[in-house]
Amino acid sequence: MVVFRFRAVIILVAAVMLVGFLSASDAHAEKKYHVSQDFQVEPTVGGYWIFHNDVDAYLAYGLTFDYYFNEFWGLEVEALALEFFMNSELDSGQKNFFRTYETIPTSIVSVLAPASAGYTNAQRSLLTEYITALNSSAMPVPKRDEQISGYNFTIGPRFNFFPTEMGGLFLAMGVGAAFTDQEVPYSGQTSFFSFKTEIGQDLRITDHFSFLIRMGYRHLGGFDSKQLGGVGGSVGLGYTF
């Protein structure tokens, strides 16, 4: 799955570069940085370190689209694939009540059995059935090496500070949603509220191509102990037309 998605990103980058080369006839025309009605597509890849005990980081890669109302203001839409990296230091002794396969561990059951000697066979049978049912309903935990993937979509404004013909510094913000194929992290949730705040540098290479680097904060989930908030950055190759 990861290899397939990386190949898809490589194909998208190649397609963007091909369009740029086919537009070489006007490559030397003077063009101001991101004028009104410019459209920019940017294949991007980055990583974010998460402030959470269960998740170390996640890889984010995909496409960012910008439409510019003028040289300062634009609208940014983002579609990213996510690959999560779980905390490799977690083991069965560190998992809390909600992260074990057995709600009542076998070691405790072995202590409860002798203690039930004063009960009738029917009562002991009922206790055994209760423990079995309780354990079978416990939420299983992804293994440490199990891959957890997802998608993230955001939309929001972009503001370019002091734009020049060589590029400029910009601020990008966005809100949206994220969806995962498994619970992350062990919360029973596969859909999350999402927002981002990034500051970046758009460095113009040619009349159509630019190199972009971004750094900022991203957030998945609510505002509680299950939230996934972290800092990181990304790089991308933008094509403007």
Q: Count the helices and strands in the chain (H runs, E runs).
A: 3, 8
Tell me which H or E stretch contains 124: helix 121-136
pLDDT of the chain, 241 residues: tens digit per residue: 444 455 554 555 454 444 444 444 344 444 567 778 899 999 999 999 988 777 889 999 999 999 999 989 999 999 999 998 877 665 444 444 334 445 555 556 655 655 556 677 777 777 777 777 666 655 555 555 567 899 999 999 999 998 888 888 999 999 999 999 887 766 567 889 999 999 999 998 888 899 999 999 999 988 877 788 899 999 999 998 8
Contact 138, 105 (CB under 8 A): no
The structure's pTM equals: 0.66
What 3-state class would DSSP assign to 70? coil
Provide the token pair at 157. 């404004």
Q: Which two tokens mark 54?
A: 């269960």
